[in-house]
Structure 1
Amino acid sequence: MKKTIVLSAIMATAFCLPAVNAARYKVVDVTNGGSITGKVIFLGSEADAQKHKKVYTITKDTDICGTGSREVEYVKVNKGALNDVVVYLDKVKKGKAWDKKNTTIDQKGCEFLPFFTVMANKGKLTAINSDPVAHNIHTYAIIGKAKKTMANVSQPVQGSQVTKTVKLKKRSTGLKVECDQHDFMHSFVFVAKNPYYARVAKDGSYTIKGIPPGKYKVKVWHGYLKDPRAKQVTVKAGKTKTVKTFKYKNKKK
Protein backbone atom coordinates (compact mmCIF):
# COMPACT_ATOMS: atom_id res chain seq x y z
CA MET A 1 0.00 0.00 0.00
CA LYS A 2 1.34 3.40 -0.93
CA LYS A 3 2.12 5.76 1.89
CA THR A 4 2.25 9.49 1.20
CA ILE A 5 4.65 11.61 3.20
CA VAL A 6 3.14 14.98 4.10
CA LEU A 7 5.69 17.75 4.34
CA SER A 8 5.54 20.15 7.25
CA ALA A 9 5.41 23.87 6.59
CA ILE A 10 9.11 24.08 7.38
CA MET A 11 10.03 21.25 5.02
CA ALA A 12 7.81 22.65 2.29
CA THR A 13 9.66 25.93 2.55
CA ALA A 14 12.98 24.10 2.26
CA PHE A 15 11.79 22.38 -0.91
CA CYS A 16 11.15 25.67 -2.74
CA LEU A 17 13.16 28.72 -3.59
CA PRO A 18 10.93 31.76 -4.09
CA ALA A 19 11.00 33.35 -7.52
CA VAL A 20 12.63 36.76 -7.47
CA ASN A 21 11.53 39.41 -9.97
CA ALA A 22 10.28 36.63 -12.27
CA ALA A 23 7.81 37.87 -14.86
CA ARG A 24 4.66 35.79 -15.09
CA TYR A 25 4.43 33.96 -18.42
CA LYS A 26 1.15 34.65 -20.25
CA VAL A 27 -0.46 32.11 -22.59
CA VAL A 28 -1.84 33.71 -25.78
CA ASP A 29 -2.92 32.51 -29.20
CA VAL A 30 0.05 32.29 -31.57
CA THR A 31 -0.86 32.34 -35.25
CA ASN A 32 1.69 31.71 -37.98
CA GLY A 33 4.49 31.35 -35.46
CA GLY A 34 8.07 30.73 -36.49
CA SER A 35 10.54 28.02 -35.55
CA ILE A 36 14.20 27.62 -34.73
CA THR A 37 16.28 24.55 -35.38
CA GLY A 38 19.89 23.55 -34.92
CA LYS A 39 22.30 21.13 -33.32
CA VAL A 40 24.36 20.67 -30.17
CA ILE A 41 27.76 18.95 -30.33
CA PHE A 42 30.59 18.00 -27.99
CA LEU A 43 34.09 19.20 -28.86
CA GLY A 44 35.91 16.07 -27.89
CA SER A 45 35.93 12.34 -28.45
CA GLU A 46 33.69 9.81 -26.79
CA ALA A 47 36.79 8.82 -24.83
CA ASP A 48 36.96 12.40 -23.49
CA ALA A 49 33.32 12.13 -22.45
CA GLN A 50 34.04 8.87 -20.63
CA LYS A 51 36.61 10.68 -18.49
CA HIS A 52 33.68 12.36 -16.73
CA LYS A 53 32.22 8.98 -15.80
CA LYS A 54 32.42 8.27 -12.08
CA VAL A 55 32.53 4.87 -10.43
CA TYR A 56 30.95 4.47 -6.99
CA THR A 57 31.31 1.49 -4.68
CA ILE A 58 28.01 -0.02 -3.51
CA THR A 59 28.37 -0.50 0.23
CA LYS A 60 24.80 -0.98 1.48
CA ASP A 61 21.46 -2.57 0.55
CA THR A 62 23.27 -4.81 -1.92
CA ASP A 63 20.32 -7.18 -2.24
CA ILE A 64 18.39 -4.34 -3.94
CA CYS A 65 21.11 -1.99 -5.19
CA GLY A 66 23.44 -4.67 -6.53
CA THR A 67 26.99 -5.53 -5.63
CA GLY A 68 30.37 -4.20 -6.69
CA SER A 69 30.24 -0.75 -8.24
CA ARG A 70 27.92 1.63 -10.07
CA GLU A 71 29.04 3.73 -13.06
CA VAL A 72 27.40 7.12 -13.62
CA GLU A 73 27.88 8.72 -17.05
CA TYR A 74 27.60 12.46 -16.52
CA VAL A 75 28.47 13.24 -20.15
CA LYS A 76 26.78 11.18 -22.88
CA VAL A 77 27.97 11.60 -26.46
CA ASN A 78 26.55 9.92 -29.55
CA LYS A 79 28.72 10.27 -32.66
CA GLY A 80 29.77 13.77 -31.66
CA ALA A 81 26.31 14.89 -30.52
CA LEU A 82 25.89 15.77 -26.86
CA ASN A 83 22.83 14.25 -25.21
CA ASP A 84 20.82 15.22 -22.11
CA VAL A 85 20.83 18.87 -23.21
CA VAL A 86 17.98 21.39 -23.45
CA VAL A 87 17.87 24.36 -25.85
CA TYR A 88 15.57 27.17 -24.74
CA LEU A 89 14.52 30.77 -25.34
CA ASP A 90 15.34 33.11 -22.50
CA LYS A 91 12.90 35.64 -21.00
CA VAL A 92 9.86 35.00 -23.18
CA LYS A 93 6.90 36.88 -21.67
CA LYS A 94 4.02 35.41 -23.66
CA GLY A 95 3.24 32.74 -26.23
CA LYS A 96 1.96 29.19 -26.66
CA ALA A 97 0.57 26.97 -23.92
CA TRP A 98 2.67 24.49 -21.97
CA ASP A 99 2.89 20.91 -23.22
CA LYS A 100 4.32 19.69 -19.93
CA LYS A 101 4.56 21.24 -16.48
CA ASN A 102 5.19 18.37 -14.07
CA THR A 103 7.62 15.48 -13.83
CA THR A 104 8.17 12.33 -11.79
CA ILE A 105 11.37 10.71 -10.60
CA ASP A 106 11.21 7.06 -9.54
CA GLN A 107 13.77 5.48 -7.24
CA LYS A 108 13.99 1.91 -8.50
CA GLY A 109 16.87 -0.51 -8.10
CA CYS A 110 18.64 2.29 -6.21
CA GLU A 111 18.66 4.40 -9.35
CA PHE A 112 16.87 7.62 -10.29
CA LEU A 113 14.64 7.03 -13.30
CA PRO A 114 14.91 8.90 -15.55
CA PHE A 115 18.48 10.17 -15.21
CA PHE A 116 17.49 13.40 -16.97
CA THR A 117 14.06 15.01 -17.20
CA VAL A 118 12.37 18.39 -17.69
CA MET A 119 9.59 20.33 -16.00
CA ALA A 120 8.15 23.83 -15.75
CA ASN A 121 9.08 26.35 -13.10
CA LYS A 122 6.21 26.37 -10.59
CA GLY A 123 5.33 22.88 -11.80
CA LYS A 124 5.23 19.82 -9.54
CA LEU A 125 8.04 17.37 -8.95
CA THR A 126 6.99 13.97 -7.63
CA ALA A 127 9.48 11.55 -6.10
CA ILE A 128 8.49 7.91 -5.63
CA ASN A 129 10.36 5.23 -3.71
CA SER A 130 9.72 1.92 -5.47
CA ASP A 131 12.41 0.07 -3.50
CA PRO A 132 11.97 -1.93 -0.27
CA VAL A 133 14.80 0.11 1.26
CA ALA A 134 14.99 3.66 2.59
CA HIS A 135 15.93 6.55 0.32
CA ASN A 136 16.47 10.23 1.12
CA ILE A 137 15.91 12.51 -1.86
CA HIS A 138 18.09 15.61 -1.74
CA THR A 139 17.55 18.26 -4.42
CA TYR A 140 19.80 21.21 -5.19
CA ALA A 141 19.32 24.29 -7.35
CA ILE A 142 22.33 24.59 -9.68
CA ILE A 143 23.58 28.18 -9.62
CA GLY A 144 26.69 28.44 -11.79
CA LYS A 145 29.33 26.32 -10.11
CA ALA A 146 27.41 26.31 -6.84
CA LYS A 147 24.53 24.21 -5.54
CA LYS A 148 21.89 25.28 -3.02
CA THR A 149 19.78 22.79 -1.11
CA MET A 150 16.07 22.89 -1.91
CA ALA A 151 14.82 19.71 -0.28
CA ASN A 152 16.12 16.97 1.95
CA VAL A 153 13.27 14.52 2.46
CA SER A 154 13.37 10.98 3.86
CA GLN A 155 11.35 8.29 2.06
CA PRO A 156 11.84 5.34 4.43
CA VAL A 157 9.37 2.81 3.05
CA GLN A 158 8.51 1.30 -0.31
CA GLY A 159 5.70 3.19 -2.03
CA SER A 160 6.30 6.45 -0.21
CA GLN A 161 5.70 9.51 -2.37
CA VAL A 162 6.30 13.23 -2.06
CA THR A 163 5.05 15.94 -4.42
CA LYS A 164 5.90 19.63 -4.25
CA THR A 165 5.86 22.72 -6.43
CA VAL A 166 9.33 23.78 -7.56
CA LYS A 167 10.15 27.48 -7.80
CA LEU A 168 13.63 28.49 -8.93
CA LYS A 169 15.26 31.85 -8.65
CA LYS A 170 16.17 33.82 -11.75
CA ARG A 171 19.80 32.64 -11.66
CA SER A 172 18.95 28.93 -11.74
CA THR A 173 17.45 26.80 -14.49
CA GLY A 174 18.08 23.30 -13.21
CA LEU A 175 18.26 20.82 -10.35
CA LYS A 176 20.74 18.21 -9.24
CA VAL A 177 19.13 15.26 -7.46
CA GLU A 178 20.97 12.95 -5.06
CA CYS A 179 20.15 10.35 -2.42
CA ASP A 180 21.69 10.82 1.01
CA GLN A 181 21.31 7.09 1.67
CA HIS A 182 23.17 6.02 -1.49
CA ASP A 183 25.98 8.21 -2.83
CA PHE A 184 25.86 6.55 -6.27
CA MET A 185 22.34 7.83 -7.08
CA HIS A 186 22.34 10.97 -9.25
CA SER A 187 19.91 12.74 -11.58
CA PHE A 188 19.30 16.13 -13.25
CA VAL A 189 16.15 18.17 -13.95
CA PHE A 190 15.89 21.12 -16.33
CA VAL A 191 13.34 23.66 -15.04
CA ALA A 192 11.86 25.77 -17.85
CA LYS A 193 10.66 29.33 -17.24
CA ASN A 194 8.56 29.23 -20.44
CA PRO A 195 7.40 26.49 -22.86
CA TYR A 196 9.87 27.45 -25.60
CA TYR A 197 12.42 24.72 -25.06
CA ALA A 198 13.42 21.42 -26.64
CA ARG A 199 15.38 18.45 -25.39
CA VAL A 200 17.91 17.54 -28.07
CA ALA A 201 17.54 14.25 -29.93
CA LYS A 202 20.25 11.56 -29.86
CA ASP A 203 21.82 13.08 -32.97
CA GLY A 204 22.02 16.48 -31.22
CA SER A 205 19.26 18.09 -33.29
CA TYR A 206 16.36 20.12 -31.92
CA THR A 207 13.41 22.23 -33.09
CA ILE A 208 11.33 24.75 -31.16
CA LYS A 209 8.02 25.68 -32.82
CA GLY A 210 5.20 28.19 -32.46
CA ILE A 211 7.42 31.16 -31.63
CA PRO A 212 5.89 34.65 -31.92
CA PRO A 213 7.92 36.80 -34.38
CA GLY A 214 10.68 38.80 -32.69
CA LYS A 215 14.22 38.82 -31.40
CA TYR A 216 15.27 36.19 -28.89
CA LYS A 217 18.23 34.96 -26.89
CA VAL A 218 18.78 31.20 -27.35
CA LYS A 219 20.52 29.31 -24.56
CA VAL A 220 21.51 25.72 -23.79
CA TRP A 221 21.66 23.82 -20.50
CA HIS A 222 23.54 20.72 -19.45
CA GLY A 223 23.53 19.65 -15.83
CA TYR A 224 27.23 18.82 -15.66
CA LEU A 225 29.14 20.68 -18.41
CA LYS A 226 29.77 24.41 -18.66
CA ASP A 227 27.25 25.90 -21.09
CA PRO A 228 28.31 27.90 -24.18
CA ARG A 229 27.31 31.54 -24.59
CA ALA A 230 23.79 32.42 -25.71
CA LYS A 231 23.02 33.24 -29.34
CA GLN A 232 20.80 36.05 -30.65
CA VAL A 233 18.21 35.16 -33.30
CA THR A 234 15.37 36.89 -35.13
CA VAL A 235 12.30 34.76 -35.74
CA LYS A 236 9.97 35.67 -38.61
CA ALA A 237 6.32 34.66 -38.94
CA GLY A 238 5.93 31.22 -40.50
CA LYS A 239 9.67 30.86 -41.11
CA THR A 240 12.29 28.49 -39.72
CA LYS A 241 15.56 29.95 -38.50
CA THR A 242 18.64 27.72 -38.27
CA VAL A 243 20.74 28.60 -35.24
CA LYS A 244 24.50 28.30 -35.42
CA THR A 245 25.65 25.06 -33.79
CA PHE A 246 26.18 25.11 -30.03
CA LYS A 247 29.58 23.62 -29.22
CA TYR A 248 30.28 22.27 -25.74
CA LYS A 249 33.89 22.23 -24.67
CA ASN A 250 35.19 19.45 -22.49
CA LYS A 251 34.76 21.54 -19.32
CA LYS A 252 32.84 20.88 -16.14
CA LYS A 253 30.64 23.67 -14.75
Structure 2
Amino acid sequence: MKKNWIVEIGVMGLLWVASSAALAYEVVDVTGGATIVGTVTLKGIPPSPKAYNLVTFPDPEYCGRISDGQGWRLLKDFVVNDHSQLQGVVIVVEGVNAGKPFSLSIPKVEARDCRFLPFTTVVRDGHGIEVVNMDPVMHDIQAYETSLSQGTRVLFNSPLPFNPRHQRENIHATHEHQPGQSLVHQFQLSKGRKTFVMQCGFHAYMESWAIAVDNPYFT
Protein backbone atom coordinates (compact mmCIF):
# COMPACT_ATOMS: atom_id res chain seq x y z
CA MET A 1 0.00 0.00 0.00
CA LYS A 2 1.31 3.46 -0.87
CA LYS A 3 -0.03 6.76 0.35
CA ASN A 4 0.95 10.15 -1.05
CA TRP A 5 0.95 13.03 1.41
CA ILE A 6 2.17 16.59 1.75
CA VAL A 7 3.09 18.03 5.12
CA GLU A 8 3.33 21.81 5.47
CA ILE A 9 5.62 23.07 8.19
CA GLY A 10 6.68 26.51 9.32
CA VAL A 11 10.12 26.57 10.88
CA MET A 12 10.87 22.94 11.69
CA GLY A 13 13.36 20.94 9.67
CA LEU A 14 12.94 17.81 11.76
CA LEU A 15 9.46 16.31 11.81
CA TRP A 16 7.88 13.59 13.91
CA VAL A 17 4.76 11.55 13.21
CA ALA A 18 3.88 11.06 16.85
CA SER A 19 2.03 8.32 18.64
CA SER A 20 2.13 6.81 22.12
CA ALA A 21 5.28 6.56 24.20
CA ALA A 22 7.66 3.95 22.84
CA LEU A 23 8.61 0.76 24.62
CA ALA A 24 11.69 -1.36 23.99
CA TYR A 25 11.69 -2.28 20.31
CA GLU A 26 11.31 -5.96 19.33
CA VAL A 27 12.26 -7.44 15.97
CA VAL A 28 9.49 -9.65 14.53
CA ASP A 29 8.48 -11.02 11.14
CA VAL A 30 6.48 -8.45 9.18
CA THR A 31 3.74 -9.32 6.69
CA GLY A 32 1.60 -6.91 4.73
CA GLY A 33 3.86 -3.94 5.39
CA ALA A 34 3.05 -0.54 3.92
CA THR A 35 5.10 2.26 2.38
CA ILE A 36 4.63 5.96 3.07
CA VAL A 37 5.82 8.38 0.41
CA GLY A 38 5.45 12.12 0.23
CA THR A 39 6.92 15.59 0.07
CA VAL A 40 7.61 18.03 2.88
CA THR A 41 7.04 21.65 1.91
CA LEU A 42 7.91 24.85 3.70
CA LYS A 43 4.98 27.26 4.07
CA GLY A 44 5.98 30.89 3.85
CA ILE A 45 9.26 32.61 3.16
CA PRO A 46 12.37 30.54 4.01
CA PRO A 47 14.39 31.98 6.90
CA SER A 48 17.55 33.78 5.89
CA PRO A 49 20.83 31.89 6.34
CA LYS A 50 22.80 32.47 9.51
CA ALA A 51 25.61 34.88 8.63
CA TYR A 52 29.00 34.95 10.34
CA ASN A 53 31.33 37.87 9.70
CA LEU A 54 34.77 36.39 9.16
CA VAL A 55 36.34 39.43 10.78
CA THR A 56 34.57 38.44 14.00
CA PHE A 57 35.21 34.72 13.42
CA PRO A 58 38.72 34.77 11.93
CA ASP A 59 40.68 31.76 10.79
CA PRO A 60 43.09 33.08 8.15
CA GLU A 61 44.78 29.73 7.74
CA TYR A 62 41.87 27.84 6.16
CA CYS A 63 38.23 28.20 7.25
CA GLY A 64 38.27 31.99 7.23
CA ARG A 65 39.18 31.95 3.55
CA ILE A 66 35.98 30.08 2.57
CA SER A 67 33.31 32.77 2.27
CA ASP A 68 30.45 34.09 0.13
CA GLY A 69 32.93 36.43 -1.56
CA GLN A 70 31.95 39.38 0.64
CA GLY A 71 33.60 38.36 3.89
CA TRP A 72 30.71 36.32 5.30
CA ARG A 73 30.29 32.63 6.01
CA LEU A 74 26.68 31.50 5.51
CA LEU A 75 25.01 28.59 7.29
CA LYS A 76 21.98 27.58 5.22
CA ASP A 77 19.97 25.55 7.71
CA PHE A 78 16.77 25.82 5.61
CA VAL A 79 17.21 24.75 1.99
CA VAL A 80 14.20 24.70 -0.34
CA ASN A 81 13.78 24.35 -4.10
CA ASP A 82 11.56 26.37 -6.44
CA HIS A 83 8.53 24.33 -5.33
CA SER A 84 9.10 25.06 -1.60
CA GLN A 85 10.18 21.47 -1.03
CA LEU A 86 12.36 21.33 2.06
CA GLN A 87 15.62 19.40 1.99
CA GLY A 88 17.25 17.58 4.89
CA VAL A 89 13.99 16.54 6.59
CA VAL A 90 13.75 13.50 8.87
CA ILE A 91 10.33 11.87 9.29
CA VAL A 92 9.89 9.33 12.10
CA VAL A 93 6.89 7.13 12.86
CA GLU A 94 6.74 6.90 16.65
CA GLY A 95 5.00 4.39 18.87
CA VAL A 96 6.20 1.38 16.87
CA ASN A 97 7.26 -1.26 19.39
CA ALA A 98 7.81 -4.24 17.06
CA GLY A 99 8.61 -4.77 13.40
CA LYS A 100 11.46 -5.02 10.92
CA PRO A 101 15.10 -5.02 12.06
CA PHE A 102 17.27 -1.91 12.14
CA SER A 103 19.53 -1.39 9.14
CA LEU A 104 21.00 1.78 10.67
CA SER A 105 24.67 1.54 11.58
CA ILE A 106 26.65 4.21 13.38
CA PRO A 107 26.19 7.31 11.19
CA LYS A 108 29.26 9.08 9.87
CA VAL A 109 29.64 12.86 9.74
CA GLU A 110 32.56 14.51 7.95
CA ALA A 111 34.13 17.88 8.64
CA ARG A 112 34.82 18.99 5.06
CA ASP A 113 35.68 22.54 4.01
CA CYS A 114 34.63 23.71 7.46
CA ARG A 115 31.14 22.24 7.25
CA PHE A 116 29.66 19.18 8.93
CA LEU A 117 28.21 16.89 6.26
CA PRO A 118 25.49 15.76 6.24
CA PHE A 119 23.75 18.66 7.99
CA THR A 120 20.92 16.38 9.16
CA THR A 121 21.06 12.67 9.94
CA VAL A 122 19.59 9.98 12.21
CA VAL A 123 21.14 8.38 15.30
CA ARG A 124 20.13 5.57 17.65
CA ASP A 125 19.92 6.46 21.30
CA GLY A 126 22.46 4.48 23.31
CA HIS A 127 24.62 3.83 20.26
CA GLY A 128 26.94 6.43 18.79
CA ILE A 129 28.15 8.65 16.01
CA GLU A 130 31.41 8.76 14.04
CA VAL A 131 33.02 12.07 13.10
CA VAL A 132 35.99 12.40 10.75
CA ASN A 133 38.01 15.52 10.01
CA MET A 134 38.84 15.83 6.31
CA ASP A 135 40.22 19.36 6.67
CA PRO A 136 43.86 20.40 7.20
CA VAL A 137 42.98 22.27 10.43
CA MET A 138 41.84 21.26 13.89
CA HIS A 139 38.15 21.21 14.80
CA ASP A 140 36.51 20.84 18.20
CA ILE A 141 33.35 18.78 18.71
CA GLN A 142 30.76 20.13 21.13
CA ALA A 143 27.77 17.77 21.27
CA TYR A 144 24.42 18.47 22.91
CA GLU A 145 21.00 16.93 23.39
CA THR A 146 18.07 19.31 23.25
CA SER A 147 14.29 19.69 23.07
CA LEU A 148 11.86 22.59 23.12
CA SER A 149 10.43 21.52 26.49
CA GLN A 150 13.51 20.18 28.30
CA GLY A 151 16.23 22.55 27.10
CA THR A 152 19.83 21.68 26.24
CA ARG A 153 22.41 19.48 27.96
CA VAL A 154 26.06 18.88 27.05
CA LEU A 155 26.82 15.29 26.00
CA PHE A 156 30.53 15.48 25.23
CA ASN A 157 33.33 17.77 24.07
CA SER A 158 36.30 16.43 22.16
CA PRO A 159 39.01 17.70 19.80
CA LEU A 160 38.83 16.46 16.21
CA PRO A 161 42.41 16.14 14.95
CA PHE A 162 43.40 16.50 11.31
CA ASN A 163 45.52 14.12 9.30
CA PRO A 164 49.20 14.98 10.01
CA ARG A 165 50.08 14.26 6.37
CA HIS A 166 48.29 17.39 5.19
CA GLN A 167 50.54 19.91 3.48
CA ARG A 168 51.04 22.96 5.70
CA GLU A 169 52.39 25.26 2.99
CA ASN A 170 49.68 27.17 1.08
CA ILE A 171 47.06 24.67 2.17
CA HIS A 172 44.28 26.09 0.00
CA ALA A 173 46.30 25.61 -3.18
CA THR A 174 47.66 22.16 -2.32
CA HIS A 175 44.93 20.73 -0.11
CA GLU A 176 43.48 17.29 -0.75
CA HIS A 177 40.90 16.01 1.70
CA GLN A 178 42.46 13.30 3.84
CA PRO A 179 40.74 11.68 6.83
CA GLY A 180 42.10 12.23 10.28
CA GLN A 181 41.59 9.76 13.10
CA SER A 182 37.92 8.86 13.49
CA LEU A 183 36.15 10.05 16.61
CA VAL A 184 33.43 7.61 17.72
CA HIS A 185 31.28 8.58 20.68
CA GLN A 186 28.44 6.67 22.31
CA PHE A 187 25.81 8.71 24.11
CA GLN A 188 22.58 8.32 26.07
CA LEU A 189 19.86 10.93 25.71
CA SER A 190 17.75 11.85 28.74
CA LYS A 191 14.41 13.31 29.83
CA GLY A 192 12.67 12.80 26.52
CA ARG A 193 15.21 14.74 24.48
CA LYS A 194 15.44 13.38 20.96
CA THR A 195 17.47 16.01 19.12
CA PHE A 196 21.26 15.62 18.88
CA VAL A 197 23.33 18.66 17.87
CA MET A 198 27.02 19.10 17.09
CA GLN A 199 28.89 22.37 16.73
CA CYS A 200 32.56 23.18 16.27
CA GLY A 201 33.98 25.10 19.20
CA PHE A 202 36.44 26.86 16.89
CA HIS A 203 34.05 27.59 14.01
CA ALA A 204 30.52 28.41 15.16
CA TYR A 205 29.13 28.14 11.62
CA MET A 206 29.79 24.38 11.63
CA GLU A 207 26.63 22.57 12.79
CA SER A 208 25.06 19.14 12.36
CA TRP A 209 21.63 18.01 13.60
CA ALA A 210 20.21 14.54 14.17
CA ILE A 211 17.05 12.88 15.41
CA ALA A 212 17.39 9.94 17.81
CA VAL A 213 15.12 7.04 16.84
CA ASP A 214 14.02 3.95 18.75
CA ASN A 215 12.57 2.08 15.77
CA PRO A 216 13.62 1.67 12.12
CA TYR A 217 10.55 3.37 10.63
CA PHE A 218 12.01 6.65 9.48
CA THR A 219 13.19 8.34 6.34
Per the normalisation by structure 2, the TM-score is: 0.71
Q: Is 1:171 the counterpart of 2:192 in the alignment?
A: yes
Q: Which runs of 4+ in 1 moved over 6 A?
A: none
Which residue pairs with 1:196 in the alignment?
217
Match of 1:61 among 53, 59, 62: 59
Percent of residue pairs identical: 30
> Please, which runs of 5 or more residues in structure 2 have no aligned partner?
1-20, 66-70, 164-179
Q: For each residue in 1:222-241, what CA deviation from the matched residue of structure 2 results, as whole angstroms up to 9, or x when unmatched?
A: xxxxxxxxxxxxxxxxxxxx
* Equivalent-residue separation in structure 1 for 2:107 and 2:162 (angstroms): 21
* Equivalent-residue separation in structure 1 for 2:60 and 2:117 (angstroms): 19
Aligned residue-pair number: 174
* Equivalent-residue separation in structure 2 for 1:165 and 1:22 (angstroms): 21
The letter of the residue matching 1:72 is: L
Secondary structure (helix, strand or coil) at the match of 2:46 reads: helix
Secondary structure (helix, strand or coil) at the match of 1:29 reads: coil
Match of 2:78 among 75, 79, 96: 75
Q: Is the 8 A contact 1:61 1:133 kept in 2?
A: no
Secondary structure (helix, strand or coil) at the match of 2:141 reads: strand
Return the offset for 1:123. 2.8
> Please, which runs of 5 or more residues in structure 1 have no aligned partner?
1-20, 199-253
1:84-123 mapped onto 2 (5 Å cutoff): 84-123=88-127
Higher relative contact order (CA 8 A, sep 6+): 1
Q: Is the 8 A contact 1:101 1:124 kept in 2?
A: no
Q: Is the 8 A contact 1:57 1:184 kept in 2?
A: no
Compared CA separation, residues 91 and 27, structure 1 to 2 (3 A): same
* Equivalent-residue separation in structure 2 for 1:64 and 1:160 (angstroms): 19
Q: For each residue in 1:3-36, what CA deviation from the matched residue of structure 2 results, as whole angstroms up to 9, or x when unmatched?
A: xxxxxxxxxxxxxxxxxx9632111110121233
Compared CA separation, residues 60 and 161, structure 1 to 2 (3 A): farther
Secondary structure (helix, strand or coil) at the match of 1:32 reads: coil
Aligned-pair Cα RMSD in Å: 2.1
Compared CA separation, residues 22 and 150, structure 1 to 2 (3 A): farther
Which residue pairs with 1:154 in the alignment?
159
Q: Is 1:186 the counterpart of 2:183 in the alignment?
A: no
Compared CA separation, residues 108 and 39, structure 1 to 2 (3 A): closer
